[in-house]
């Protein structure tokens, strides 16, 4: 894996289960933090993505159950104050397997959330996203897919 774990300011990463993860680079040194651990196997379609995120991050009742609402909630989180957030999605191979275009939409939403929280307007609160793949090859392919669409 690249030097992402060596203190790089980038808070969005794709890695495999064999990569070593230093928790001190993912979480604030002190304070309250929220960890949302999601399973791609439980999120084969958009409705299940919305449900799993809503459940993991305690979205408010007004959550709109669509991509725009997910983006809005991930960039706000005022109902769940913390000194840092970590979103881990395991089993990426299965995430939105029924619609690969939606997977890229979700990845872009997560990247925007990371950028929002890293900006002064977001309060510069660590918001880290870790996409966990089963193998190095799968992680490399997903990194390339993400790089090809973000540009």
Segment 84-121, tens digit of pLDDT:
899 999 999 999 998 989 999 999 999 999 999 988 77
> Which residues make beta-bridge pairs with 86?
35, 128
Residue range 8-53, pLDDT digits in tens:
446 888 888 777 666 556 666 678 889 999 999 999 999 999 999 9
What percent helix, strand, coil does the chain show, rounded to 5? 45, 15, 40
* Whole-angstrom distance, CA of residue 73 vs CA of residue 2: 30
**Residue-by-residue DSSP string for 92-149:** GGGTTTT-HHHHHHHHHHHHHHHHHHHSGGGTS--EEEEEEESSHHHHHHHHHHHHHH
Residue 6 pLDDT exceeds 80: no
- Whole-number percent of the chain with pLDDT over 70: 83
pLDDT at residue 5, rounded to an integer:
36
Would you state the pLDDT for residue 122? 57
pLDDT (tens digit per residue) in 112-128: 999 999 887 756 788 99
Q: Given pLDDT bands bounded at 50, 70 and 90, which one contains residue 4?
A: very low
Collapsed DSSP state (helix, strand, coil) of residue 42:
helix
């Amino acid at each position: 894996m690249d030097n992402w774990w060596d203190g790089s300011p980038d808070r969005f990463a794709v890695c495999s289960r064999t990569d070593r993860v230093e928790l001190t680079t993912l979480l604030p040194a002190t304070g309250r933090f929220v960890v949302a651990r999601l399973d791609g196997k439980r999120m084969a379609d958009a409705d299940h993505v919305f449900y799993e995120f809503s459940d993991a991050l305690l979205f408010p009742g007004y959550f709109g159950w669509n991509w725009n609402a997910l983006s809005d909630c991930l960039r706000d989180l005022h109902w769940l104050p913390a000194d840092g957030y970590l979103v881990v999605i395991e089993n990426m191979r299965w995430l939105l397997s029924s619609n690969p275009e939606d997977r890229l939409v979700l990845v872009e939403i997560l990247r925007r959330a990371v950028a929002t929280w890293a900006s002064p307007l977001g309060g510069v609160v660590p918001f880290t996203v870790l996409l966990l793949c089963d193998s190095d090859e799968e992680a490399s392919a997903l990194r390339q897919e993400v790089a090809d669409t973000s540009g």
